[in-house]
Amino acid sequence: MSFCTSQFALFFLYVLALYTFLPKRASRLVLLSASYLFYGYWNWYLLGLIWISTVSAHYGALAIAREDDDERRHRYVVATIVLNLGILGLFKYYNFFAGSLNELLVALGVKVSVHHLQLLLPVGISFYTFQAIGYVVDVYRRKAPAEESLFNTALFVAFFPQLVAGPIERVTDLMPQLKAERSQSYRALSSGLYLIFAGVFKKVFIADNLGFFTERVFDQTDPAVNGTLVLLGLYAFAFQIYCDFSGYTDIARGVARCLGMTLSLNFNLPYFATSPQDLWRRWHITLSQWLRDYLYIPLGGSRGSRFFTGRNLFLTMLLGGLWHGAAWTFVAWGAFHGLILIVHREFRHRFPPKDDVADGDFTLFQWGWRVVLMFHMTCISWLFFRANSIGQAWDFLVMLVTDHGYTAEVGMYAYYVFFFAWPLLGYQVWQQWRKREVVITDLPVAIRSVVYIGALLALAILSASDNREFIYFQF
């Protein structure tokens, strides 16, 4: 059930009404039932997987919390992580590695093949698996208490607004809200509806329309693809994936806020990043923090030599890329980000910036060229992310360097990309200037009303004709 459908709108209205007017105990049952109904809408058998993840996390955390022996506690946490990652690996990665192994065996002349499995990739399995693992590890590290109620653990893992594409919540942030008294208010409802509308606009008006152009470039339905069109395709995909994913997050946060709960901010103007580190403080923030706390730091973080710090950064980003999808293009995407993080870290070590620059106190010129450079580095990384193969990514890279030219088609596509991207660009410049997420409230009511009406008309008239799933549903 996609957020941008009439089915979800009716579903959410029913859930909101029942949650608001039923007694607290019954309203929490409504939330859990709605979460399982929402997830089961894709395929009911997938509920068995999320239930295995929930039960293993719940009883694994209880066993860890009740055990004083460090060795046994370690065994429990390892067993729980292995079980959850084993399910994730089977459904998401088995066929990928089996196919890669078969290709290697053929290249070596070995007449043996590994069988593929006919498995449906469960929607959102990467997100709820990481959330469940994070809960168990936090209990193991004694940063969070183990939850005694299986019902509460189930609601934490399956809470429907953020179930299939995040944000990846920490138990210390979300669990107290799920257990607390309802805190709905008119102000929360108003801000929630604003976030929902903003998310739908990003997804349906910007992302889906830009998706038509990126498909023409990357799926090569347009035979006139050259370096200029590839560059435009990268610009289009940069805004498509941002509006698609941040649009989902806005809707998820808006739905949760209408229910009186607050989900984590997952995007903070990422294309205004001034460095690779800054990008990952702004893009998919909850995943970045998860990888930092549960992978990078356990690997050793920055506690060792520069070589080992670089190794830890590279491995973290490599596995972060693989988390996004079972394909070598995602591995290359993660490797690219790992390399630019290492290069930037080494550059700063060899050429330490002045104190004012180190603190981020840039002049407009210093800030501007850093933003432009980092945006284009990010676009290059999106080439690997969106490409259908490593070979296509390489061919397009060569085109970007060697094969440019202006045609009437290029001009038309440039106008097309700008037309659908400028509302986002304009609004985010305003957000950056005001240093706030919601700035439209700065406008007088009359002008604000005109903006809302214009956005509604744009959605009604210029929305993409088909209803596309969110890109991150496949992860």
pLDDT, tens digit, 9 for 90 and up, residues 34-63: 999 999 988 888 899 999 999 999 999 999
Q: What is the pLDDT of residue 380?
A: 95
Q: Residue 329: inside a domain, yes or no?
A: yes
CA 69, 140, 77, 316 dihedral sign is: negative
Q: Is 176 found in the same domain as 218?
A: no
Higher local confidence (pLDDT), 246 or 408: 246
Confidence of residue 222 (pLDDT cuts 50, 70, 90): low
Where among 182, 206, 232 does a domain terminate? 182
Q: Residue 218: inside a domain, yes or no?
A: yes
Question: Rounded CA gap, 183 and 181, in Å?
Answer: 6
Q: Is 383 found in the same domain as 336?
A: yes
Residue 324 among the catalytic residues: yes
Q: Is 448 found in the same domain as 313?
A: yes
Q: Which tens digits make up the pLDDT trace of 130-164? A: 999 999 999 999 999 999 999 999 999 999 999 98
Q: What is the pLDDT of residue 221?
A: 58
Instruction: Report the SS3 class of residue 388.
Output: coil
Q: Is 215 found in the same domain as 363?
A: yes
Q: What is the pLDDT of residue 357?
A: 57
Average pLDDT, the chain: 89
Q: What is the pLDDT of residue 359?
A: 53
Instruction: Report the SS3 class of residue 248.
Output: helix
Q: Is 444 found in the same domain as 313?
A: yes
Q: Residue 265: inside a domain, yes or no?
A: yes
Q: Is 126 found in the same domain as 218?
A: no
- The one catalytic residue in 324, 344, 349, 376 is 324
Show the domain range for 147.
6-182
Q: Is 461 found in the same domain as 331?
A: yes
Confidence of residue 355 (pLDDT cuts 50, 70, 90): low
Confidence of residue 360 (pLDDT cuts 50, 70, 90): low
Confidence of residue 239 (pLDDT cuts 50, 70, 90): very high
Residue type, 252: A
Is residue 248 predicted with pLDDT exceeding 80?
yes
Alpha helices in 269-363 (DSSP H): 276-280, 285-291, 297-299, 306-324, 328-350, 355-358
Higher local confidence (pLDDT), 143 or 426: 143
Is residue 472 predicted with pLDDT exceeding 80?
no
Q: Residue 221: inside a domain, yes or no?
A: yes
b/e string for 70-91 if b means 16 or more Cβ within 10 A?
eeebeebbeebbebbeebbeeb
Q: What is the pLDDT of residue 466?
A: 65
Question: Rounded CA gap, 141 and 77, in Å?
Answer: 10
CA angle 313, 314, 315 (to 5 degrees): 95
Q: What is the pLDDT of residue 234?
A: 94
Q: Is 192 found in the same domain as 173?
A: no
Q: Residue 1: inside a domain, yes or no?
A: no
b/e string for 142-162 if b means 16 or more Cβ within 10 A?
eebebbeeeebbbbbbbbbbb
Q: What is the pLDDT of residue 219?
A: 84
Backbone torsions φ then ψ of 45, nearest 5 degrees: -70, -20
Q: Residue 339: inside a domain, yes or no?
A: yes
Q: Is 220 found in the same domain as 160?
A: no
Number of domains in the chain: 2
Is residue 474 predicted with pLDDT exceeding 80?
no
Q: Is 264 found in the same domain as 155?
A: no
